[in-house]
Amino acid sequence: MPTNPPRTAAKPDDRPKVRLYVEQALAEGQHVEVSQDQSHYLGNVMRMAPGDAVALFNGTAGEWRARIVRLAKRGGILDCEAPTALQANPPDVWMVFAPIKKTRTDFIVEKAVELGVSRIVPVQTEFTNAERIRRDRLQAHAIEAAEQSGGTFVPEVADLTPLPRLLSAWPEGRALWWANEALTGQTTCDLAPAPAAILIGPEGGFSPSERTRLAALPFIRHLALGPRILRADTAAVAALTLWQSLHGDWR
């Protein structure tokens, strides 16, 4: 079955309100199987039944209206009917951050998806509180954020990577904007366009040795975020908002 994004889409009023991310191909007449959890969500949480319309997206083929054929304890079947939104990928900007407390890490992932990023990269720094993350859980949060925000793209959440390893293998041509708390009170006005990434440190900031290494790297750009020191989760939202307003798809 074809998986190319649809050329036309329905009017906004025709788009179903309930949305699901699936990994199967989407095309007219395509049968789509949904998981046990998704079937439970449709039938028991949203009180939907066979014949009701659901919006489906897989990250590459836009959004499609589908009809529920069957819902059961072990899963369900939906049939694709027509495209309702074209595929819309975010700008090529990454969110790179040191995980903090669980709920605030979840917040960063969710808001990064809502604001628009192409990849989410958790990093381990000397002062990072979390020694490990549940990548699958954070990826699920990313999917849920895309479902609820109307997006058709789900960014990958990478494995937790030590900061030195990430910097050593940094891709050529991608600027890394370091939200540097030492620049509090200064103004940044030369944010570079994509490909780019935004680096948010841990609650205790970067260590002196990490700061020295970051400052010496040729791809580092310094980012100031106003007159006050921000919490890590606030800084992530502020930095991404600033970048999107200048070089992203908000313009």
* CATH at 35: 2.40.240.20
* CATH at 164: 3.40.1280.10
**What's the total number of domains in the chain?**
2
141 — pLDDT class (breaks 50, 70, 90): very high
119 and 193 in a single domain? The answer is yes
Phi, psi torsion values for 211, nearest 5 degrees: -65, -40
Is residue 169 assigned to a domain?
A: yes
Is residue 148 assigned to a domain?
A: yes
132 and 202 in a single domain? The answer is yes
- Distance between CA atoms of 54 and 42, rounded to whole angstroms? 9
Domain that holds residue 51: 12-85
101 and 196 in a single domain? The answer is yes
3 — pLDDT class (breaks 50, 70, 90): very low
97 and 47 in a single domain? The answer is no
Nearest to 110 by CA among 157, 77, 142: 142
Give the pTM. 0.88
- Distance between CA atoms of 87 and 64, rounded to whole angstroms? 10
Phi, psi torsion values for 243, nearest 5 degrees: -65, -45
Higher pLDDT, 1 or 170: 170
Task: Give the Cβ contact number of residue 61 at 10 Å.
Answer: 23
For 189-221, what is each residue's pLDDT tens digit?
Answer: 567 788 999 999 998 899 999 999 999 999 999
What integer best gives the mean pLDDT of the chain? 90
For 111-132, what is each residue's pLDDT tens digit?
Answer: 999 999 999 999 999 999 777 8
119 and 25 in a single domain? The answer is no
pLDDT given at position 229: 85
